[in-house]
Amino acid sequence: MSPESKFKLTYATMYDPPEELHTRFDEALAHLKAKFGQEYAMIINGKEVFAKEKIEDRFPANTDVVIGVFQKGTADDARAALAAARKAFPMWSHMKWQDRVALIRKAAALMDERIYEIGAAISLEVGKNRMEGLGDIAEAADLFRYACSRMEANDGFVAPMAKDPLIGFESTNESVLRPYGVWLVISPFNFPAALTGGPAGAALVAGNTVVMKPASDTPWTTRLICECLRDAGVPEGVFNYVTGPGSSVGQTLVDSPEVDGVTFTGSYDVGMKIYRDFGAGRWVRPTILELGGKNPVIVSRHADIETAAIGIVRSAFGLQGQKCSAASRVFAEAPIYDALVHRVVELTKNLTVGDPTERSITTGPVVNKSSYGDFQQFCEELHQSGNILTGGKILTEGDYAKGYFCAPTIAELPYDHHLWQHEMFVPITTVGKVNSLDEAMKLANNVDYGLTAGFYGTDDEAAWFFDKIEAGVTYANRGQGATTGAWPGFQPFGGWKGSGSSGKNSGGLYYLQLYMHEQIHTRVRKA
């Protein structure tokens, strides 16, 4: 966006962007296409590091296209990154916090400047539609700035405490929050910018140094963010970027005693393994886990059906259902069930599936072969046990043949079916009829997850919903998205139960503190 533009891009405003966003996205896309196939290094201790083996990053809408070649790093690279971060820690943590904030703000400004190029890269790498791609990097920049603003608002987290009542002596007491050391950040494929920017931004502002490992499906976006940090002048070794398989590079990082804290965003299974492995260390270290979701939407008989249907479809199929916040379960009261489901199905059929970089496309492919296979397997189960109202198949005709395209799917399913519990992470949402809001709430809470939730109904009902629902991010009567579209500073993002470990949401008031431990300074003098 040009500086003079008053438009603020968020996931809630992206449905109606100014024309300029499209023209500049198209220019950036053409520029990136000219660079397809280029090789990118890891960045360790400020140096470009290459590995013997490579990872090909392919366009999920046309897998013939290699968008970039990345390094299949090894355990040695992981150890080198940790050593670099350890070496840089004394310098970075002793820098005045105002100077750290200035560097991180500068990196955020570079992300703004490069928003079209990075947004287009995200669209190509993940398969997000263009507005979702732009939103992801805009969110990352805002997460950087949000961490800075919390440091400023708390004056670097140095706070005077009360004087204790000594006889003949005088004391001053002070609370100081200080960084832990080397922070490991492991991110998932679906928000490669925001889920790098949120944890890494907070860790860096707090004074930790960082080792970052992105998902193997999405190394490019994270590399582009590293370049913003590097070009902003963040000193070498402070932020290290390693790529390679989670099972080798990732596991080496998790198992290392050189890690002082970790933020992992990804699936429940990998997250719980990291929690247990990390727990084998010599002492307890901070472990911030942001895991999966199975997010419910409850629709009351008093709801505005049009708003509910729009919000549900946006949240069910944004990024092809591959958001941790995706609306994957809908419970609607019997009197409006048919009308709501009819409208949801109609809107789902209107979605445009195709090349996600194209302006007219709402719905791209799923990210990789494994997700494509999952979709087909779930559809088979739905055909057997449920009632598919729309979708239920992969798309393979014409231009679809070379990508992982799936028809957005709405299905009814008996409540005892295991897919009501399982995070599918593909474009499938199940709908069910309920006889009361209490019944809906019981079903909604009957999962291990507790990430986001949506409600449509009266204000009084909404107050009841907020009180009863077990989830970290909850919305009432939001047409911009029933369960998705949180933004730093507006809707801090984090989960309860199996969806998260810290109980404090990213982009919120209490998040930055997770990256620091408290030290009390008591000074005593003779009165």
Binding site for Mg ion (CB under 5 A): 57, 217
As measured in angstroms, the least distance from the Cβ of 191 to Mg ion is 14
Binding of ligand NAP at residue 474 (CB under 6 A)? no
For ligand NAP, the binding residue among 267, 376, 385, 390 (CB under 6 A) is: 267
Angle formed by the axes of helices 19-33 and 115-126, to 10°? Answer: 70
Stretch touching ligand NAP by CB under 6 A, among 62-70, 78-86, 87-95, 266-274: 266-274
Residue pair 194/324 in contact (Cβ under 8 Å)? The answer is no
Q: 479: buried, middle or exposed (CB in 10 Å: 19+, 13-18, 0-12)?
A: middle
In 279-333, alpha helices (H): 305-317
Which among ligand NAP, Mg ion, none contacts residue 57 (Cβ within 5 to 8 A by kind)?
Answer: Mg ion
- If we measure between CA atoms, which residue out of 445, 440, 481 comes closest to residue 461? 440
413 is a contact residue toward ligand NAP (CB under 6 A):
no
196-235: which residues touch ligand NAP (CB under 6 A)? 213-217
Secondary structure percentages of the chain, helix, strand, coil, to 5: 40, 20, 35
Q: Which of 117, 132, 139, 290 is catalytic?
A: 290
Distance CA 188, CA 214 (A): 7
**Binding string to ligand NAP for residues 24 to 63, with x set by CB under 6 A, is what?**
----------------------------------------
Kindly tell me which of 107 and 274 has the beta carbon lying closer to ligand NAP: 274
Closer residue to Mg ion (CB): 72 or 145: 72
Site string for ligand NAP, 310-349 (x = CB under 6 A): --------------x-------------------------
Residues 475-514, interacting with ligand NAP (CB under 6 A): 493, 495, 499-500
Least distance CB 20 / ligand NAP (angstroms): 29
* Least Cβ distance, residue 249 to ligand NAP (angstroms): 7
Tokens describing residue 241: 């970027």
Return d(Cα 432, Cα 419) in angstroms, integer: 13
Segment interacting with ligand NAP (CB under 6 A) among 44-52, 131-139, 249-257, 343-351: 249-257
User: Which residues, including other chains, have CB under 8 Å from residue 104's CB and lie 6 or more apart?
Assistant: 144, 147, 148, 201, 204, 205, 232, 234
Which alpha helices (DSSP H) does 284-361 contain, by range? Answer: 305-317, 334-349
Cα–Cα dist 242/430, whole Å? 38
How many residues touch ligand NAP under the rule CB under 6 A: the total is 36
Residue found by looking up tokens 């140094």 in the block: 209
Residue 324 annotated in active site: yes
Q: What is the rounded distance in angstroms from the CA atom of residue 96 to the CA atom of residue 207?
A: 9
Q: Which two tokens stand for residue 106?
A: 């500068």
Please confirm, yes or no, whether 227 is among the known catalytic residues: no
Distances (CA, A) of 245 to 248, 250, 521: 6, 6, 43
* Of the residues 191, 220, 317, 511, which one makes contact with ligand NAP according to CB under 6 A: 191
Q: Is 190 in the site for ligand NAP (CB under 6 A)?
A: yes
Q: Does 251 bind ligand NAP (CB under 6 A)?
A: yes
Q: How far is the CB of 278 from ligand NAP (least distance, A)?
A: 10
Catalytic machinery residues? 290, 324
Residues that bind ligand NAP (CB under 6 A): 186-191, 195, 213-217, 245-247, 250-251, 254, 265-267, 270, 273-274, 290-293, 324, 423, 425, 451, 493, 495, 499-500
